[in-house]
């Protein structure tokens, strides 16, 4: 996908979802259901479609973590995922789950994720 297409997709998505946003939808900051622990690994589930949800996740620091980003008919630019701290950048499949490993030593501080154009974002706060 070239950058011009991505920009126009981004802008139209922003206009559409911006309308809902300004209609008063509260920011999704309830992260309690997004974090689980399986076999000593911390799992964080984030969905990508018209932005990321939840947008703020509180997680445990210093624990091997797998970030699972799921798409479901995601054709907006939130499928273009960038996590600068992990030097991660990828176009996700329109529907599927992407698993991103975060080592125990990387699971600290705040991890920022954003779409390719930097319009949508989420944060994982390791504490
Ligand atoms: Cu974007």
Give the domain CATH number at 44.
2.60.40.420
Q: What is the pLDDT of residue 32?
A: 75
Of residues 111 and 31, which shows the higher confidence score?
Answer: 111
65 alpha carbon to ligand 1 midpoint, in Å? 25
pLDDT tens digits along 48-105: 999 999 999 999 999 999 999 999 999 999 999 999 999 999 999 999 999 999 999 9
User: In the chain, how many domains are there?
Assistant: 1
Q: Is the pLDDT of residue 35 over 70?
A: yes
Rounded to two decimals, what is the model's pTM? 0.78
48 alpha carbon to ligand 1 midpoint, in Å? 11
Q: What is the mean pLDDT of the chain?
A: 87
**What's the pLDDT band for 26 if we cut at 50, 70, 90?**
very low
Q: Residue 114: which residues within 8 A CB-CB, separation 6 or more?
A: 81, 82, 83, 84, 120, 121, 122
73 alpha carbon to ligand 1 midpoint, in Å? 16
83 alpha carbon to ligand 1 midpoint, in Å? 13
Q: Is the pLDDT of residue 23 over 90?
A: no
CB 61 within 8 A of CB 102: no
Determine what percent of the chain is predicted with pLDDT higher than 70.
76
**What's the pLDDT band for 3 if we cut at 50, 70, 90?**
low
CA angle 74, 93, 78 (to 5 degrees): 45
Domain of residue 13 covers 3-126
């Amino acid at each position: 996908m070239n950058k011009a297409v991505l920009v126009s997709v981004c802008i139209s998505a922003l206009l559409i979802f911006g309308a809902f946003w300004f209609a008063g939808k509260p920011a999704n900051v309830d992260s309690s259901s997004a974090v689980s622990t399986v076999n000593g690994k911390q799992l964080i589930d984030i969905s990508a479609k018209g932005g990321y949800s939840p947008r703020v996740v509180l997680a445990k620091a210093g624990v091997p973590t797998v970030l699972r980003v799921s798409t479901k008919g995601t054709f907006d630019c939130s499928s273009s995922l960038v996590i600068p701290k992990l030097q991660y950048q990828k176009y996700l499949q329109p529907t599927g789950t992407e698993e991103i490993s975060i080592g125990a030593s990387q699971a600290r501080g705040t991890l920022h994720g954003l779409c390719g154009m930097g319009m949508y974002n989420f944060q994982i706060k390791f504490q």
